[in-house]
Copies of this chain bind each other. A is one copy, B any other.
Amino acid sequence: MTEPADPPVRRDPLSREKVLLAAVAMADEAKGEVPSTRKLANRLGVRAMALYHHFKNKDELLDGMVDLVFAEVELPTGDLDWQTAMRRRGASMREALKRHPWAVGLMDSRVDPGGATLRHHDTVIGCLLAGGFTIVGAAHAFSMLDSYIYGFAIQENALPISDEGDFEAAAVGMMETVPADEFPHLTAMAAEHALKPGYDYGDEFAIGLDLIIDGLDRHRESWR
């Protein structure tokens, strides 16, 4: 008879989810670098090839990681008007992409979306339709909002690391190498705006998002 107090000798096996969680955590720590199969496996107390028992190949693993990011995004709930809902999910999505900067670089090569991604898209479209958009209008709105959100994330990622006052040092250093006479407007903007003490590029996000939402509201009726 088997001993009930004796669980499987292999203490507990891997699973898609456990692998994905570790992969996301490692990518976050590595400031945007997706871990190699060997490093990921190592963290999980296993050899690299063990991962291939749970994922067909690395691409499938990356798909799963992106889907996990989408799962973190706050979905619109039915009780909000579409403007508020889109503002909230925009902010939430941007925060997720800031927490997981590696995801932005992955988006443009992912082709088959996971369940959380589909759920996200479906809910957003549903929210827009409920808000009075036609299907065509909802497609416009969706495309516009997501383009803005992803693009903003790209630009935020490309900034010199914003951990601390490091940013200012890096930005100043960069600007020193840019001749002011050759690029007058750029240096003016840097000196008079972007390098001013309280400036935070992140604040631009809400401004743009509001402008787009405002524009969508204005054009909503005309999209049939």
Give the interface of A toward B (CB within 8 A).
32, 101, 104-105, 107-112, 118-119, 121-123, 125-126, 129, 135-136, 138-140, 143-144, 146-155, 157-158, 160, 174, 178, 182-186, 188-189, 192-194, 201, 204, 207-208, 211-212, 214-216, 219
Contact = CB atoms under 8 A, between A and B. Distances in A.
A139 B185 CA distance: 11
Given A110-B158, A111-B160, A219-B211, A189 B138 contact: yes
A219 to B, nearest CB: 6
Nearest to A138: B189
A204 B139 contact: yes
9 contacts: A111-B160, A123-B185, A135-B189, A144-B211, A147-B155, A150-B155, A151-B152, A211-B212, A214-B215
B178 A118 contact: yes
What's the number of copies of this chain in the assembled complex? 2
Nearest to A160: B111
A204 B142 CA distance: 10
A212 B119 CA distance: 28
Given A104-B108, A105-B108, A122-B186, A204 B150 contact: no
Contacts of A208: 140, 143-144, 147
B125 A186 contact: yes
Contacts of A136: 193
Nearest to A214: B215
Contacts of A183: 118-119, 121-122
A130 to B, nearest CB: 9
Given A185-B122, A185-B129, A212-B211, A204 B140 contact: yes
A155 to B, nearest CB: 6
A150 B107 CA distance: 12
B150 A154 contact: yes
B185 A126 contact: yes
* 8 smallest beta-carbon distances between A and B, as pairs: A151-B151, A147-B151, A150-B151, A125-B185, A122-B183, A144-B208, A147-B152, A108-B157
